[in-house]
Amino acid sequence: MSEKTTFTGHRGLDHEEQLIFERGRDAACGVDLPAPDSVATRLGGMERNGSVGLPGLSEPEVVRHFVRLSQKNYAIDAGFYPLGSCTMKHNPRLNEKMARLPGFSDVHPLQPTSTVPGALELMSELARWLMELTGMPAVAMSPKAGAHGELCGLMAIRAALEARGEAGTRTRVLVPESAHGTNPATAAACGFTVDAIPATEDGRVDLAAFEAKLGDDVAGIMLTNPNTCGLFERDIRKIADAVHEHGGYFYCDGANFNAIVGRVKPGDLGVDAMHINLHKTFSTPHGGGGPGAGPVVLSEALAPFAPLPYVTSTGGELKLVEDEQSSDADPFGRMVAFHGQMGMFVRALSYMMSHGSDGLRQVAEDAVLNANYVLASLKDVMTASFEGPCMHEALFDDRFLKGTGVETLDFAKAMIDEGYHPMTVYFPLVVHGAMLIEPTETESKETLDEFIGCMADLARSAKAGDKARFENAPELTPRRRLDETTAARKPVLRWTPPAPAQAAE
């Protein structure tokens, strides 16, 4: 490794980037306008005395700063992104082209609906695909992410319980311990008590423990299928029937729908509500917090409570229902200011239509095949957490690192030196030192072979005692190990200019 220092502090073409405030000059300005004629102030003494404190830079300096920052981002367009549970798949350029058609990209949410029939038709067509693929009779399109969809689903459940006069008594929501953190968080945010269901040795819901928890105070269950261990919950029908027999509802976390799309209809599994992460299953871009879209499909029992606004079709004419007075159902309210993520809707529908029904089925099959290829290729050098094949993601734990002094985190950091974004680590919590790998259907065998080769090499070198390769990793990045906990707990979000005394030194 080169420890060479450079005059500039840059390493090759990888620039050491200052903050824009550190770089800016007070007096500099990117534009060159004549000074205005002096005008009498009308601010009545409220005008600012000091400078605004904006960094002064020329246009090329600003452009270069932000372009260089953007190049420091790792992205699915830059390389393989094996993050389990996040479904980072290639976003086809066709989707982007469609989303940029002015008729979609330039619509304004406050335009009269008579001027946007195409947008309404697209929303209604996407809704039709989602209902067809899930075998469910209704869908709420407006939620803006998976977690927002969970909120929508649980609010619909609460509205249904209120209509039955049981909202006060049904207060408990069952959530398997392998669940994504958003599940218990959503249930708690909706005022329910969260009751965790343990997992069995084979990574699925413990049916006996689940049955023992059923009772008159249960509002429902939130279950992910395939679950976050990448495994299909074989008892899902039994679970759905038992919840229904006890008067509860079945919320399915559909974030992993990409493993079963075109093969299984959640409606056949007894689901009452399920969010679909368009940004996972249907390829719309995500990462860094958005944008996403989390439409929620609903059963007959919950459909009347779907939130406003929604598109209906009467005699072939599409209408946007925006308020309770014009609704003939019982909406629980509204979740967003407008209609949902139009750009994501266009991309998702493009993806669906360009694949067709047979292509979508192949998406699931290839995603599962790729994950199993990774699992089978690495299970002898790493340790697979569960016996047998997986669905769309392969779960390993840290047993293969036992006694090496290398931990899951070190292993992940060493992957960065090799040019790989690490997989999801320490999630799900049900296995020790988890490493969750989701290749998705968009990666070629060659890409997977390179990745597998690298992972196997790292695993062998950890076992051979080459601790140095891990404990200092990453060594080839502009920054090494960060104190991520402090960064998350005490983020420094505001730049403060250096004190004048220090500057004078």
Interface positions with ligand PLP (CB under 6 A)? 85, 145-147, 180, 182, 224, 228, 253, 255, 277, 292, 294
486 CA to centre of own chain: 23
Q: Report the alpha-carbon distance of residue 451 to residue 381 in Å, rounded.
A: 14
CB of 157 to ligand PLP, least distance (A): 17
Q: Report the alpha-carbon distance of residue 64 to residue 103 in Å, rounded.
A: 32
**Which is nearer to ligand PLP, 182 or 383 (by Cβ)?**
182
CB of 79 to ligand PLP, least distance (A): 21
Task: Give 438's contacts (C-beta < 8 A, 6+ positions apart).
Answer: 82, 83, 84, 85, 86, 87, 88, 230, 371, 392, 393, 394, 423, 424
CB of 288 to ligand PLP, least distance (A): 11
CB of 86 to ligand PLP, least distance (A): 6
Neighbouring-strand partners of residue 249: 220
**Which is nearer to ligand PLP, 172 or 180 (by Cβ)?**
180
**Which is nearer to ligand PLP, 145 or 434 (by Cβ)?**
145
> Would you say the C-alpha torsion 174, 179, 182, 184 has a positive or negative sign?
positive
| Helical segments of 164-252, H only | 182-189, 207-213, 236-245
**Which is nearer to ligand PLP, 147 or 243 (by Cβ)?**
147
Neighbouring-strand partners of residue 224: 253
**Which is nearer to ligand PLP, 206 or 253 (by Cβ)?**
253
**Which is nearer to ligand PLP, 91 or 377 (by Cβ)?**
91
CB of 186 to ligand PLP, least distance (A): 9
In a 10 Å sphere around its CB, with 0-12 CB exposed, 13-18 middle and 19+ buried, how is residue 285 labelled?
Answer: buried
Closest by Cα among 225, 181, 170, 173 to 203: 225
The kind and range of the H/E element at 311 are strand 310-314
Nearest-10 Cα torsion for 475, 479, 485, 487: 180
**Which is nearer to ligand PLP, 95 or 224 (by Cβ)?**
224
CB of 21 to ligand PLP, least distance (A): 32
Task: Give 287's contacts (C-beta < 8 A, 6+ positions apart).
Answer: 75, 76, 86, 88
| Closest residue to ligand PLP using C-beta atoms | 146
CB of 483 to ligand PLP, least distance (A): 25
